[in-house]
Amino acid sequence: MRIWGKMKGIGLALLLAAPLQAQEFSGLARLDPAKSRIEDSRKGVEVDLALSQPVPWRVFTLDAPRRLVLDFAEADWAGADPAALLSGDRATALRLGRGRPGWSRLVLDLAEPLGIDSAE
């Protein structure tokens, strides 16, 4: 079985911005929905997430159904409206929640087969 089908690119840019003021890290990276977006690009889907602090993360794709999965070490999704983050037709739905213990998960449903072009 061919998982990838047609390879198309997903541009993934994670904007991990540290706070400007000196303060203790809470352990949770908070998403800034106003500075975050998930939208169609020429090659696929571009994901830009603005987090309050850097955290370990990983990204992978799944098939049947097609999904892009991003795991973050302790991200806080409070205040994020999944529908407001999505723009375009290549990403059909977004779910935010907890993954395994100590990890938070973002799952993006894809309308077509896409591969990961870059992850920064």
pLDDT tens digits, one per residue of 46-69: 999 999 999 999 999 999 999 999
Alpha-carbon distances of 31 from 18, 69, 80, 94, rounded to whole Å: 12, 16, 7, 14
Query: Given this model, what pLDDT does residue 120 score?
Result: 87
Could you tell me how many residues make up the chain? 120
Which pLDDT band holds residue 26 (cuts at 50, 70, 90)? Answer: low
- Find the mean pLDDT for residues 83-95: 96
- 9-33: b (≥16 Cβ within 10 Å) or e: bbbbebeeeeeeeeeeeeebbbbeb
Least confident of 26-30, 48-52, 111-115: 26-30
Structure tokens at 68: 């892009």
DSSP H or E segment with residue 87: strand 86-87
Average pLDDT over residues 92-96: 97
- Is residue 3 predicted with pLDDT exceeding 70? no
Would you say residue 28 has pLDDT above 60? yes
* pTM recorded for the entire structure: 0.76
- What value does the mean pLDDT take over residues 9-33? 52
15 pLDDT band, cuts 50/70/90, is very low
Q: Which domains does the chain have, with CATH numbers?
A: 9-18+27-119 (2.60.40.3500)
Q: What is the mean pLDDT of the chain?
A: 82
74 touches 102 (CB < 8 A): yes
4/58 Cα distance (integer angstroms): 19
